[in-house]
């Protein structure tokens, strides 16, 4: 459905005549960036910017970047090259464009970004983006403003709350950052350098944000953090609260019908968190628990500080707590020193667990991380061959899992109209897209759905009854 001010997908349509300045924020990488991009959009709205449809109608363009693998960074530089041309063309026509690079690439490369791409006006890191309004003002009088501080002030308390109508437009599922940063220092990973040390938001701040979201119609809340289960925020009495404690409190917020969390570290899968999977009904039976490798030798070299057996033990305990739980994971192939045998052990682990869905990556040497300096860097062709084999196995498992859902009844939260008239689409507890015949009034509704078919990337279902 669209009217004169909204496009079919619900985004605002560009105006016939440019009135207020418009901002376009493009997110790369992980869920943390999606959340940060929304908060930057809230900041821009407070500064008088309307939401742009794309770069074409935007006066302010923010790329919220990722630095996790080399390819992520290169993609940004090529995008910046195109934006420089756009900016130059507009300048000739007397129109100003402000270009901001935010996120982890900004944090990691700072001034190097301005050197490689002088068209950039502002470089701002993930811990200081609440200062974006003042940085934009500085950029009006001088070029190349950089802020990659790790400020002492609490970023979250300085960010404006999203407007209820903005939240409603963003949909019925939302992310809430509860924890940021990482102290684990896995040998391959840039996150501890770009996002800094682990820090948790206070319980009350998290609950207030969830309450605002559900008040605007959100029903599915994902608590996010680089190491979300290391959460240790303070409650109103100044006591440290565990992640399981936060889950129990979040589940009690009126309107929360489904809770999820990502991303977890195996070493923080405490007994109380596993018990939450048994006790908290709204906690989805789906756990993203990255293992990275199935070889103890490689896990040790990665500084993961857990062994394959520890991981399998967690899987078994989670299954005992919640028999219908399904798992996903991240894997890295071609880590320095990974021999054929190590890789075979990864395949064995995948076969043992049986994943619903997973991500596999080729190891990418990141400057400044210990693994980048290690001997035994693996040949690109070997990496590619291993990636193809692992991805084929994970794909096969995904199909098996989806196929096994046929005939089951799953609770689906409908999120938007489907591709065809009279159809709605939503998500199962396992994050599968589920299409069903049903009226638009089902958007935002949870329903019991019988799964009747499976496609390459989605399931088909028949609505049995509303559950909300």
Binding site for ligand 5AD (CB under 6 A): 68-69, 188-189, 290, 292, 330, 332, 361, 363-364, 366
Are residues 190 and 179 in contact, defined by beta-carbon separation less than 8 angstroms? no
From the list 97, 50, 106, 47, the residue with the least C-alpha distance to 77 is 106
Find the shortest distance in angstroms from Cβ 440 to ligand SF4: 40
For residue 461, the partner it binds in ligand SF4, ligand 5AD, none, with Cβ less than 5 to 8 A by kind, is none
For residue 185, the partner it binds in ligand SF4, ligand 5AD, none, with Cβ less than 5 to 8 A by kind, is ligand SF4
Find the shortest distance in angstroms from Cβ 184 to ligand SF4: 4
Range 204-243, binding ligand SF4 (CB under 6 A):
226-227
Q: Which of 184, 258, 362, 427 binds ligand SF4 (CB under 6 A)?
A: 184
| 185 touches ligand SF4 (CB under 6 A) | yes
For residue 366, the partner it binds in ligand 5AD, ligand SF4, none, with Cβ less than 5 to 8 A by kind, is ligand 5AD
For residue 38, the partner it binds in ligand SF4, ligand 5AD, none, with Cβ less than 5 to 8 A by kind, is none
| 288 touches ligand SF4 (CB under 6 A) | no
> Between residues 291 and 410, which has the closer beta carbon with respect to ligand SF4?
291
Label each residue of the chain as H, E or C.
CCCCCECCCCCECCCCCCCCCEEEEEECCCHHHHHHHHHHHHHHHHCCCEECCCHHHCCEEEEEECCCCHHHHHHHHHHHHHHHHHHHHHHHCCCCCEEEEEEHHHHHHCHHHHHHCCCCCEEECCCCHHHHHHHHHHHHHCCCEEECCCCCCCCHHHCCCCCHHHHHHHCCEEEEECEECCCCCCCCCCHHHHCCCCEECCHHHHHHHHHHHHHCCCCEEEEECCCHHHCCCECCCCCECCHHHHHHHHHCCCCCCEEEEECCCHHHCCHHHHHHHHHCCCECCEEECCCECCCHHHHHHCCCCCCHHHHHHHHHHHHHHCCCCEEEEEEEECCCCCCHHHHHHHHHHHHHHCCCEEEEEECCCCCCCHHHHCCCCCCHHHHHHHHHHHHHHHHHHHHHHHHHHCCCEEEEEEEEECCCCCEEEEECCCCCEEEEECCHHHCCCEEEEEEEEECCCEEEEEEEEECC
| 460 touches ligand SF4 (CB under 6 A) | no
Find the shortest distance in angstroms from Cβ 314 to ligand SF4: 15
Q: How many residues bind ligand SF4 (CB under 6 A)?
A: 10
For residue 227, the partner it binds in ligand 5AD, ligand SF4, none, with Cβ less than 5 to 8 A by kind, is ligand SF4
> Between residues 182 and 253, which has the closer beta carbon with respect to ligand SF4?
182
For residue 69, the partner it binds in ligand SF4, ligand 5AD, none, with Cβ less than 5 to 8 A by kind, is ligand 5AD
Range 247-276, binding ligand SF4 (CB under 6 A):
265
Are residues 363 and 383 in contact, defined by beta-carbon separation less than 8 angstroms? yes
**Phi and psi for 193 in degrees, rounded to 5?**
-85, -35
| 359 touches ligand SF4 (CB under 6 A) | no
Query: Taking CB positions, which residue lies at the least distance from ligand 5AD?
Result: 330
| Contacts with 340 (C-beta within 8 Å, 6 or more apart), sequence order | none
Find the shortest distance in angstroms from Cβ 175 to ligand SF4: 17
Find the shortest distance in angstroms from Cβ 369 to ligand 5AD: 7
Find the shortest distance in angstroms from Cβ 369 to ligand SF4: 9
Find the shortest distance in angstroms from Cβ 256 to ligand 5AD: 26
Find the shortest distance in angstroms from Cβ 109 to ligand 5AD: 16
> Between residues 258 and 306, which has the closer beta carbon with respect to ligand SF4?
306
> Between residues 67 and 131, which has the closer beta carbon with respect to ligand 5AD?
67
Find the shortest distance in angstroms from Cβ 428 to ligand SF4: 26
- Where on the chain is the footprint of ligand SF4 (CB under 6 A)? 182, 184-186, 189, 191-192, 226-227, 265
């Amino acid at each position: 459905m669209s009217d004169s001010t909204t496009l079919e997908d619900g985004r605002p349509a560009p105006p016939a005549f440019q009135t207020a300045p418009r901002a376009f924020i493009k997110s790369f990488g992980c869920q943390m960036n999606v959340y940060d991009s929304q908060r930057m959009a809230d900041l821009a709205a407070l500064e008088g910017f309307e939401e742009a449809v794309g770069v074409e109608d935007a006066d302010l363009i923010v790329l919220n970047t990722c630095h996790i693998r080399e390819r992520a960074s290169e993609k940004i530089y090529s995008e910046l090259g195109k934006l420089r041309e756009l900016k130059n063309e507009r300048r000739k026509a007397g129109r100003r464009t402000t270009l901001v690079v935010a996120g982890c690439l900004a944090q990691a490369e700072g001034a190097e970004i301005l050197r490689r791409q002088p068209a950039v006006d502002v470089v701002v890191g993930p811990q200081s983006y609440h200062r974006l309004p003042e940085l934009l003002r500085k950029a009006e009088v001088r070029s190349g403003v950089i802020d990659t501080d790790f400020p002492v002030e609490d970023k979250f308390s300085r960010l404006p709350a999203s407007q209820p109508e903005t939240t409603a437009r963003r949909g019925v599922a939302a992310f809430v950052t509860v924890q940021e940063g990482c102290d684990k220092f896995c040998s391959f990973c840039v996150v501890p350098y770009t996002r800094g040390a682990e820090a948790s938001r206070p319980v009350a701040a998290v609950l207030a944000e969830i309450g605002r979201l559900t008040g605007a119609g959100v029903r599915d809340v994902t608590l996010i953090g680089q190491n979300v289960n290391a959460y240790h925020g303070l409650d109103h009495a100044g006591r440290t609260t565990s992640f399981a404690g936060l889950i129990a409190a979040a589940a009690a917020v009126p309107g929360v019908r489904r809770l999820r969390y990502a991303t977890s570290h195996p070493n923080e899968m405490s007994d109380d968190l596993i018990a939450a999977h048994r006790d908290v009904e709204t906690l989805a039976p789906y756990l993203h628990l990255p293992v990275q490798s199935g070889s103890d030798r490689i896990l040790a070299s990665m500084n993961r500080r857990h062994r394959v057996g520890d991981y399998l033990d967690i899987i078994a305990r989670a299954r005992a707590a919640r028999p219908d739980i399904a798992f996903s994971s991240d894997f890295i192939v071609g880590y320095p020193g990974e021999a054929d045998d190590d890789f075979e052990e990864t395949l064995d682990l995948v076969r043992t667990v049986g994943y619903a869905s997973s991500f596999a990556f080729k190891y990418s040497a990141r400057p400044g991380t210990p693994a980048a300096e290690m001997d035994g860097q693996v040949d690109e062709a070997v990496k590619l061959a291993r990636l193809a084999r692992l991805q084929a196995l994970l794909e096969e498992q995904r199909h098996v899992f989806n196929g096994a859902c046929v005939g089951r009844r799953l609770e689906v939260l409908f999120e938007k109209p489907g591709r065809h008239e009279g159809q709605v689409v939503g998500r199962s507890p396992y994050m599968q897209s589920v299409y069903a015949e049903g009226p638009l009034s089902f958007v935002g509704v949870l329903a019991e759905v019988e799964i009747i078919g499976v496609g390459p990337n989605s399931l088909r279902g028949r609505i049995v009854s509303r559950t909300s």
